[in-house]
């Protein structure tokens, strides 16, 4: 089979997804067109122009099916390149703009969400097969689209969201490597709880909640080390700068060796740091699958996440702290669980783990294969 894969906003999770697909299906001849994850408004609205007029030869080759991310402006692209309308297509939704949190920073550039929202709906309606990476993603897409359609003044067609009701749930796979790294790397000092926060340094990953948790952890009896491993950008949320400052003072006062405070680009170094840690923490306001939590959990970390977003789909209450309107209440819930796990480690008892086998490549391959075979054989 020959497949054309379009990734219109090729962020890290999107790259992980398409790279895993190539590993899982080496017999498929993949032709990939990707665009960098920057200049979001232009990228989402302009990808059809870029591809249609700069890459027409690649788009009009002979393919069995088209696989595109939901940020692809598929309706416009098929208008510019009519040949694309002649091959079956799959649309994969890593996220949706309906459930994306607003930036609380008053100086941040505001983006009108309606255009990317309606564009993603047009793309979904073009799909022969629509796929979401989680039920939370599908459900929040449907709720958000329904709310948007109700605001439109007139002539809105009925049953537009039937495509969402027929969508499949197939997660982004985890690479096999994360299930083979040795857990013997775990730190031998049982008096210190090793915690990892491995998220992008942006507002939607909950830096204010992380700050509240660190403040309360420092006041607790738990001894801990926090590894800050997330991807960083030119602008750093102030809360994360405060976290760094508090941790420096804490390590100096307790004589605890500081944790890793760096974005580890080398995958082996990153995986080894995760495998040497006890807990992976999420404070996110925005996660449609939570690959950073899944990957760390597969490497042996005990996950701790808020009781919302996608997390309750694969984490029990034993791994979710309380969601509340105020940060202090959420932080108290998270810190109470961390204190308990620190005591377990100190007493040489195992921390509660979560089996992530359902997300590995070998277990998801058949589900992807069934979609590719089904769509690829349509005429």
Average pLDDT estimate for 185-208: 89
Residue 185 scores a pLDDT above 70: no
Residue 107 scores a pLDDT above 70: no
pLDDT in tens, 69-82: 999 999 999 999 99
pLDDT value for 112: 78
pLDDT value for 123: 97
Residue 219 scores a pLDDT above 80: yes
Long-range contacts of 134-138 (CB under 8 A, 24+ apart): 134/169, 134/171, 134/288, 134/289, 134/310, 134/313, 135/169, 135/313, 136/288, 136/309, 136/310, 136/313, 137/93, 137/94, 137/95, 137/96, 137/99, 137/288, 137/289, 137/310, 138/93, 138/164, 138/167, 138/169
pLDDT value for 166: 95
Residue 292 scores a pLDDT above 70: yes
Domains of the chain: 2-173+361-376 (3.40.50.2000), 177-357 (3.40.50.2000)
């Amino acid at each position: 089979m020959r497949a054309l894969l379009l990734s219109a906003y090729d962020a890290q999770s999107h790259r992980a997804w398409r790279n895993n697909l190539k590993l899982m299906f080496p017999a498929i001849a993949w032709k990939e067109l990707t665009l960098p994850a920057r200049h979001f408004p232009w990228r989402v609205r302009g990808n059809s122009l870029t591809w249609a007029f700069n890459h027409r030869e690649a788009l009009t080759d002979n393919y069995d099916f088209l696989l595109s991310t939901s940020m692809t402006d598929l309706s416009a692209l098929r208008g510019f390149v009519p040949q694309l309308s002649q091959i079956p297509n799959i649309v994969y939704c890593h996220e949706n703009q309906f459930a994306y949190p607003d930036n609380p920073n008053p100086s941040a550039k505001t983006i009108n969400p309606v255009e990317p929202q309606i564009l993603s709906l047009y793309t979904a309606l073009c799909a022969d097969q629509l796929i979401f990476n989680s039920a939370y993603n599908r459900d929040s897409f449907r709720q958000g689209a329904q709310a948007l359609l109700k605001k439109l003044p007139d002539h809105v067609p009925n049953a537009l969201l039937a495509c969402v009701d027929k969508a499949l749930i197939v997660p982004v796979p985890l690479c096999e490597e994360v299930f083979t790294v040795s857990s013997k790397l775990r730190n031998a000092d049982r008096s210190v709880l090793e915690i990892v926060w491995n998220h992008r340094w942006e507002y939607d990953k909950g830096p204010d909640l992380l700050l509240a948790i660190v403040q309360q952890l420092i006041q607790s009896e738990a001894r801990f080390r926090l590894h800050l491993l997330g991807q960083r950008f030119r602008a750093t949320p102030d809360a994360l700068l405060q976290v760094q400052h508090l941790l420096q003072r804490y390590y100096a006062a307790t004589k605890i060796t500081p944790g890793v405070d760096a974005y580890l680009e080398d995958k082996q170094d990153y995986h080894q740091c995760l495998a040497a840690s006890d807990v992976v923490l999420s404070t996110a306001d925005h996660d449609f699958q939570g690959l950073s939590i899944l990957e760390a959990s597969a490497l042996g970390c005990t996950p701790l996440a808020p009781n919302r977003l996608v997390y309750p789909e694969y984490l029990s209450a034993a791994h979710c702290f309380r969601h509340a309107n105020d940060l202090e209440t959420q932080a108290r819930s998270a810190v109470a669980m961390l204190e308990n796990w620190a005591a377990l480690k100190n007493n040489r008892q195992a921390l509660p783990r979560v089996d992530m086998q359902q997300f590995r490549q070998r277990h998801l391959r058949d589900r992807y294969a069934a979609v590719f075979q089904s769509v690829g054989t349509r005429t």
